[in-house]
Structure 1
Amino acid sequence: MNNNTDNYYFRVEMKNPAEWKWTYYNPISISVSNVLELPILTPTHLQPVMEKTTVNLSCSAEAPCPKQPPTISWSNIPESANITTQLQKKPNKTQSVFSHVIFKASHTDHRKNISCTATYVMLQVLFSPKETHITIDPSDSVSVGTNVTLTCKSKASPNEMNYTWYKRGQEKELYFGEQLTFHVNSGGWYFCIATNMHGSQTSEEIHLIVAESLIITESLIIGCVGGISAFLFIFVLVILFRRLKKVKASIIRETDVSDQGHEKHVQVNSVYINSAFFDG
């Protein structure tokens, strides 16, 4: 508390046997304040730097409670910046958190105001899973015979969660885990349930679609194969029919020729017999 600000002295007392007392009169001054010093950013002013030049920045903040040191965050620094943070003792025996940032200057960093913020108190709220949803890779329209990965995402505190997968029309669980990977044979509706120690939440169903173009292609292939097979079957039947017709026609002609020869033979004999009859 700030009312503890004062000068303090070290004193030694010995009651027995001589009741000796001695005070060290070089005081120790302790100042207690309710307001913490602002984080210190160094250098306080940056000189113009050339593009692709390395920039080094440091930010320090007091850590009055080393077991719960403040968190230092940076604004307007590149995503590629390298950040290191550590707790250090200062010459006056107090401790501070030091955060160092290193990055390469780019034209996109021109005129940016870089700052650091020390956060001493962070409110932690415990809650059940929220915003539970599913992402699909490669997409929601996939080809038959390919692999697809479904990922269940959710926000919760604590964020240690269990995930359970289901498919519409099936009562039994498909899988337990954040990601579900499987070989696509057909489409369907899938959903997941995220659970932590404070509750659970069910995601909206996601529709896994088998690409229509592939279905049409397969149908066309099957139709073409069926059509070709039917055409060949009919073609063979026509050929056989024509051959049978030719064979039948050939047999009929041979029969006609044979019958005509027989008739001629009978007529000749008849004439011969008649002639012989008149001569007698």
Structure 2
Amino acid sequence: MLMLIRMTPLPLISLLMIYGVSSADWGVSYSHSHICALKDSSVIMSCTYTYPTGHQIKTVFWTKNTVKGVEPPDLSEDPEYSQRLQYLGDKQQNCTIRLSHVTQKDEHTYCFRFTTNKGGIWLGYPGVSLTVKDDPDLQVESPERVTEGDSVRLTCKSSCTLTDRATFIWYRNSQPLTERRDTNNQLLLQSVRREDAGRYSCALHGHTYISPDVHLNVMYAPKSISASISPSGEIVEGDSVTLICSSDSNPPAEINWFKGGTFVGSGRIYSISKISSDHSGEYKCKSRNQHGEKYSDTVTLNVMYPPRNVSVSINGSVEIVEGDSVTLICSSDSNPPALNFSWFKEDESSAVGSGQSFSALQSGRFYCEAHNQHGSQRSDIVTVTEDRENQTKKLI
């Protein structure tokens, strides 16, 4: 005679054995022992079951909150579930169900129960525990850093089970990416650019909850390199000057300065105090990080200074025939070049001539003075003598 087989919700499963049948032949397996779902969504509880060969399934149904010694109710006959519960399984192995429009009232532990034609009864304990939440509790998963040109995939994850119809909305810096609304939970950025860097978050269409921000850090080689000089106006010898290198890069770049092809300093700011004419020239900066390097265009440092090294020379032969004039030339080193020259005869307060050249018609001691807007300097004294015996004038 066959005996009744019944699974009861005890910590240790008890089974009244049928002669020649092992308890290992009976069982219910759930894909998930706990499911978290959003309010008003549909939940699928995937399930399979086994039983001994030779048995045929007589009845199948799902129940909830089983109590020892109490006949479990069939949820399909419960008015609160009958319109929302759909059995997707069969009477062979599949016992999956769909529960629609779930609310917090549906937070229970659900179990599958079946009977066979030979008196076997099995209850799949402990079953599936269902939690229902108002908000999706979203989190964005993203790589901490990417390099410009890479493809990046951001994933919006929820602690609750979402339906296949769930639609995600993505935000960058709190602004919606309207072109990125999709039915999957991933945001793909192909050939990422530095403009793609920022704070990303996601939301579920129809819900007000927005995930916490995740920062996407896009690394790239230096670009937009430029060099500038401060002050930008005229620079005079003795001034203090600052050269500034601007560079757009991530991570921040190492900056080196070059005058011509010679390294002269490092750092975004290169300062020169009490500048001299020797500092004049073309400067450029080089910006470098682990992703590449780039040079700026050159900037010209033009240092102004007053005349110096002023000297007098004679134009032509030193031997001059008596009666002729001697042409003296005034030379100087200055920036800008001296354009004003004055000639003086020793012991005379007034100038005896102007211009870079001066014709000395008589003997005497002369000097010149060169001028630009930054100052003036006089030359050493030169002596024009007349040799009456040889009838010549000479410059001493």
Please indicate the TM-score interval, normalised by the length of the shorter structure.
0.3 to 0.5
Q: Of Structure 1 and Structure 2, which has the larger fraction of its residues in helix?
A: 1
TM-score by length of 2: 0.30
Name which structure has the greater RCO, CA cutoff 8 Å, separation 6+.
1
More strand by share: 2
Q: TM-score, normalised by structure 1?
A: 0.41
